[in-house]
Structure 1
Amino acid sequence: MTFDRYAAATVVAVLLAASLAASPGSACAQTAHDVVSSLPEERSIGHIEAVHEFYGAMPTGVAKAPNGRLFVNYPRWGDDVPFTVGEIVDGRVVPYPNAQINRPDPAHPAASLLSVQNIVADYRNRLWILDTGAPKFAPPLPGGAKLVAVDLATSKVVKTIVFKPNVLLPQSYIDDVRFDFRYGNEGFAYLSDSSPAGPGCIIVVDLASGDAWRTLEAHPATQGDPSFIAVVEGVEMTEDGPDGRPQPVHLAADGLALSPDGNILYFSPLSSRHLYSVATRFLRDRNADDGEVEATVRDLGEKGASDGLTSDASGAVYAGDYERNSIRKMLPDGTWVTIAHDPRILWPDALSIGTDGYLYFTANQLNRQAQFNHGSDLRKKPYTLFRIKVNAQPLELKP
């Protein structure tokens, strides 16, 4: 009899506990909620600030000018792009330098902006505009691929360098640009050709004459890792091949950065996790043979998979890490540290350091585009321009 009473009491207790757990307002239900909410979560690193939200086309490049003005660009990859270069003014993006030049004119390709991939502001407050001349990744329109310099004081074009056919191949896609104004009459520019069809290379431009040449063409360091498969947001990044089967995305030399003395050019293919360097002395020497240039290439090891690169006046190199939603920094001794990690950093693209001590970068969800998701556009607006305090100054290689 005693056993029966004990058993009955146990059954009642179990039923009561189950009833309380099922009740939304019960103490047991609250305890379960607390357990769920206290599960570990991925932690963030650093403090990023949203500077601007984009509800239209997807941006890639950003440039913070010494005078404090802020510029962005939108390549014509497929979005509705009313203007390909803009300035952020009072919370709005307006065409820059004007609306007219931003209207593609195939009949006068050198006089209009067709599809701008990147922008850089220099120490003289000029905005350099890198026009691929290749809307929707088509072969560059003859006379359309160019470097354009705009004087920010007057908003007038002060220089246009159109790339000749021997510089750009039919499958070329120029992606990034860095400047050293200490050599020659007006300085030199270094560009990356990130062609998905190859060969990738580094392009060198004499800014005074407009003469340009290709270097490290087809060198393994500029082509990317053939075995590389990007994993972004936990998913392998692929495209549908001609036979309909997924194939890895392959892009050659992409981000660029210079050392404080300008003697080293850092570069990284988009399809790689490695950082490479090459001596600029041989890049600038048009008479240097391929062997001399290639002998100075160094593999500096893994840094993470990145799109944009930049460097500051102290010698630190910054790189996006699109696989890990991060911004990383290489210290002068070669050590890499993560300065920003946040789920909102969805494909960090171009990087720009301002005189205000902030690193600016776009997060544009590039991996969510339809071409990488079997035709489904998974991007979710807004795209974002962020910044993070780095307490550094931009690199200025001036005479």
Structure 2
Amino acid sequence: MKRGILLIAAMTANVLLSAARADEAAVRAEIVARLPESVGNIAITPDNQLIFSHHPFFSPEIRVAKLTSPTTFQPFPSAEWNTPRKGTYQYLDNVLGLRSDENGVVWIIDMGFRTNITPKLVGWNTRSDRLERIYYMPDPVTRTGSQPQDIVIDQKHRKFYIADENIGPGGDGSHAAIIIIDMDTGRARRVLDGDRSTIPEDLPITVDGKDLTVSAKDGKPSIIKVGCDGITMDVRSEWVYFAPLSGRSIYRVRVADLNDEKLTPPELSAKVERYSDKPNNGGLSIDYAGNLYLTAVESKLVGVIGADRKYSTYLSDAEMVWSDGITASADGYMYVSASQISAAAMFHGGKGENKAPYLIYRFKPLAAGYVSR
């Protein structure tokens, strides 16, 4: 009943707020942490513990951490879990995506390619301080180039939905996909592999007038193209929203269709609809009213797409360099990181412009958000 009341209130708020453009709302972002290493994604537990990944782009020693003060952290769930070692897969190797569920279990995606282990989804119960469960994602659920890095937790249908960018070692985004894991059986499958809705568009990521490029096989600069990155789901668990980072479109698909194993790949693709325009974006989250929040990696801002399906700027900050992971919390805020990826040495002739402190912000969304989305 409480959830229903919140949903009705949020939908009412959306009606009242949708007439006002978000970019006229003068929303301000508050800095809540200044940290010594780059922050990737964030998970907020129901009791407001802030868990975050150190961005794997910079090969951090501590993969996942818990914020202990505005300037300090400790390894999460422990130092041992952050230490690769032989004879076990029970450690965190290469982490970007993570999210808390409503029960205080933090679900951590280990991409696995830093020490070449099988990708997995690790659940750590913060209430009992113990391992909840591990789900493995071996071939063919993951494939050469897989980089599974963002997650939606669907308790209603007992599924996890994971966005795979396909820009890991040997990948170029052309086989980006969504991975579905059944919570009860652990069975996993790969859908929308190489689909128009998951692969990157042929356009540059441009920051401060400079296209981000990497060296191609012929030694010439090639623009970075990133596949399916942000993913979220409405509070009714009816629609999954997702998008390639490199692209001008957000897509959505009905959860019922995503989970219908009778659909052939072309039939499932036909069920996907283009939802809205967008800039190149990383993180994606949603509130109870259905407003989508996305991190515009080129522009030091967070954007919003309202019920009218139109994109606008929601907030910006001059220090929000490469806004990255975004998530809702039970205290009514949304949290977002600024990872400074675009300032890294590989994009600036070998001389990095990224520097501490690395920031975590919070802001008030148009309506309350849902921690697992």
> Taking structure 1 as the reference length, what is the TM-score of the superposition?
0.82
The DSSP-based 3-state class of the residue aligned with 1:367 is helix
Higher-Rg structure is 1
Report percent identity of matched pairs: 24
Contact map agreement 1:192 1:253 (CA 8 A) in 2: yes
The reply to whether residue 182 of structure 1 matches residue 144 of structure 2 is no
The ranges of structure 1 where at least 4 consecutive aligned residues each deviate by more than 6 angstroms after the TM superposition are: none
Q: What corresponds to 1:99 in structure 2?
A: 79
Give the Cα–Cα distance (whole angstroms) in 2 for the partners of residues 356 and 311 of structure 1. 15
Q: What corresponds to 1:214 in structure 2?
A: 190
> Which stretch of the first structure deviates more once superposed, 354-363 or 279-288?
279-288
Q: What corresponds to 1:8 in structure 2?
A: none
The reply to whether residue 71 of structure 1 matches residue 90 of structure 2 is no
Look up the equivalent residue of 1:272 and give its one-letter code.
G
Contact map agreement 1:312 1:395 (CA 8 A) in 2: yes
Q: What corresponds to 1:271 in structure 2?
A: 246
Contact map agreement 2:330 2:371 (CA 8 A) in 1: no
Give the Cα–Cα distance (whole angstroms) in 2 for the partners of residues 49 and 142 of structure 1. 38
Q: Among residues 356, 359, 363, which one is paired with 1:384 in the alignment?
A: 359
Give the Cα–Cα distance (whole angstroms) in 1 for the partners of residues 87 and 236 of structure 2. 42
Contact map agreement 2:229 2:282 (CA 8 A) in 1: yes
The reply to whether residue 120 of structure 1 matches residue 99 of structure 2 is yes
The DSSP-based 3-state class of the residue aligned with 1:220 is coil
Give the Cα–Cα distance (whole angstroms) in 2 for the partners of residues 149 and 258 of structure 1. 20
Q: What corresponds to 2:30 in structure 1?
A: 49
Give the Cα–Cα distance (whole angstroms) in 1 for the partners of residues 247 and 26 of structure 2. 24
Q: What corresponds to 1:166 in structure 2?
A: 140
Give the Cα–Cα distance (whole angstroms) in 2 for the partners of residues 98 and 391 of structure 1. 36
Q: Among residues 305, 309, 317, which one is paired with 1:334 in the alignment?
A: 309
> Taking structure 2 as the reference length, what is the TM-score of the superposition?
0.87
- Please state how far the C-alpha of 1:154 moved relative to its aligned partner: 2.0
Q: Among residues 343, 350, 353, which one is paired with 2:325 in the alignment?
A: 350
- Please state how far the C-alpha of 1:388 moved relative to its aligned partner: 1.0
Q: What corresponds to 2:220 in structure 1?
A: 245
- Please state how far the C-alpha of 1:46 moved relative to its aligned partner: 2.3
Q: Deviations over 1:6-64 (max 9, x none)?
A: xxxxxxxxxxxxxxxxxxxxxxxxxxxxxxxxxxxxx9952111111121x32201111
Give the Cα–Cα distance (whole angstroms) in 1 for the partners of residues 131 and 151 of structure 2. 18
Look up the equivalent residue of 1:105 and give its one-letter code.
R
Give the Cα–Cα distance (whole angstroms) in 1 for the partners of residues 283 and 371 of structure 2. 18
- Please state how far the C-alpha of 1:247 moved relative to its aligned partner: 1.0
Give the Cα–Cα distance (whole angstroms) in 1 for the partners of residues 246 and 310 of structure 2. 22
Q: Among residues 98, 101, 111, which one is paired with 1:132 in the alignment?
A: 111
Look up the equivalent residue of 1:171 and give its one-letter code.
G
Give the Cα–Cα distance (whole angstroms) in 2 for the partners of residues 221 and 266 of structure 1. 10
Give the Cα–Cα distance (whole angstroms) in 2 for the partners of residues 220 and 193 of structure 1. 14
Look up the equivalent residue of 2:177 and give its one-letter code.
C
Q: Deviations over 1:323-344 (max 9, x none)?
A: 2211011112313232102211
Structure 2 CA distance for partners of 1:210 and 1:267, relative to 1, 3 Å = same
Structure 2 CA distance for partners of 1:397 and 1:90, relative to 1, 3 Å = closer
The reply to whether residue 292 of structure 1 matches residue 271 of structure 2 is no
Structure 2 CA distance for partners of 1:118 and 1:46, relative to 1, 3 Å = same
Give the Cα–Cα distance (whole angstroms) in 2 for the partners of residues 278 and 85 of structure 1. 31
Q: What corresponds to 1:23 in structure 2?
A: none
